[in-house]
Amino acid sequence: FPVRPETTYDAIVVGAGFAGLYMLHRLRQMGLKARVYEAGENVGGTWYWNRYPGAACDIESLEYSYSFDEALQQEWKWTSRFARQPEILAYINHVADRFDLRRDIQFGTRVSSAVFDDATRCWKVETNRGDAVTARFCVMATGCLSAPKPIEYPGAETFRGRILRTQAWPREGVDFTGLRVGIVGTGSTGIQCIPIIASQARHLTVFQRTPNFSIPAGNGPMDPAYEKQIKANYGELRAIERDSDVGICARLRPETRRALDVDANEREAEYERRWTAGGLYFYGSFVDLLTDKAANDTITAFAQRKIREKITDPKVADLLVPKDYPFGAKRICADTGYYETFNRDNVSLVDVKAQPIREITPNGLKVGDDEHELDVLIFATGFDAMTGALASIDIRGRDGVKFNDCWKNGPRNHLGLMTSGFPNMFMTTGPGSPSVLYNMVLGNEYHVDWIMGCITYLDRNGRSTIEATPEAEADWRRTVDDIGRQTLFANASSWYMGDNVPGKPRVVLPYLGGFRAYKKTCDTEAESGYPGFAIA
- Where does this chain bind ligand NA7 (CB under 6 A)? 145, 152, 184-190, 209-210, 331, 352, 357, 380-382, 495, 500
What distance in Å separates the CA atoms of residue 375 and residue 182, rounded to the nearest whole number?
A: 8
Nearer to ligand NA7, 188 or 341 (CB): 188
Cβ(242)–Cβ(442) under 8 Å?
yes
Nearer to ligand NA7, 191 or 259 (CB): 191
Shortest Cβ 309–ligand NA7 spacing (Å) = 22
Q: What is the DSSP string of 349-366?
A: EEETTTS-EEEE-SSEEE
Q: What is the DSSP letter of 181?
A: E
Nearer to ligand NA7, 320 or 380 (CB): 380
CA 255 to chain centre: 24
Shortest Cβ 406–ligand NA7 spacing (Å) = 25
Cβ(103)–Cβ(34) under 8 Å?
no
Shortest Cβ 88–ligand NA7 spacing (Å) = 13
Shortest Cβ 152–ligand NA7 spacing (Å) = 4
Cβ(395)–Cβ(138) under 8 Å?
no
Q: Who contacts 457 (Cβ-Cβ below 8 Å, separation ≥6)?
A: 463, 526, 529, 530
Q: Who contacts 443 (Cβ-Cβ below 8 Å, separation ≥6)?
A: 247, 429, 433, 434, 435, 515
Shortest Cβ 302–ligand NA7 spacing (Å) = 21
Cβ(393)–Cβ(192) under 8 Å?
no
Q: Identify the CA nearest to 298 among candidates 319, 320, 269, 318.
A: 269
Nearer to ligand NA7, 27 or 193 (CB): 193
Nearer to ligand NA7, 380 or 512 (CB): 380
Cβ(414)–Cβ(469) under 8 Å?
yes
What distance in Å separates the CA atoms of residue 315 and residue 340, rounded to the nearest whole number?
A: 14
Shortest Cβ 189–ligand NA7 spacing (Å) = 3
Cα dihedral sign, 127-133-134-140: negative
Closest residue to ligand NA7, based on beta-carbon distance: 187
What residue type is assigned to position 218 of the chain? G
Nearer to ligand NA7, 382 or 431 (CB): 382
Please give the radius of gyration of the chain, using alpha carbons only, rounded to the nearest integer. Answer: 23
Nearer to ligand NA7, 397 or 411 (CB): 411
Nearer to ligand NA7, 151 or 526 (CB): 151
Shortest Cβ 133–ligand NA7 spacing (Å) = 32
Cβ(418)–Cβ(533) under 8 Å?
yes
Nearer to ligand NA7, 50 or 298 (CB): 50
Shortest Cβ 83–ligand NA7 spacing (Å) = 14
